[in-house]
Amino acid sequence: MPVTLTIKNVPDENIDPLLSIACPNILFPYVREVVSESVTRAGFAPVVLQPVNFEAMYAARVQQEQTAEA
């Protein structure tokens, strides 16, 4: 059964940064822990996912889109 999420009280111009920066920053540490724990429990060598700068990735994407429009 699919999960439907609703974002309320956020201006339209802030939706993309919210979904591209804030949400991944909140979720990534938990995902990193689950991946690390699952790999270790499966008997494989530990996997350490490096931190990700989602803000820099978003800025680079916006810059690329602006360059493509020009």
Among the listed residues 31, 67, 37, the one whose alpha carbon sits nearest the alpha carbon of residue 52? 31
Residues 36-70 have pLDDT tens digits of 999 999 999 988 899 999 999 999 999 999 999 88
Mean pLDDT of 25-40: 95
Distance between CA atoms of 49 and 9, rounded to whole angstroms?
A: 33
Q: DSSP code of 9?
A: S
Compute and round to an integer the Cα radius of gyration of the chain.
17
Single-letter amino acid, residue 50: Q
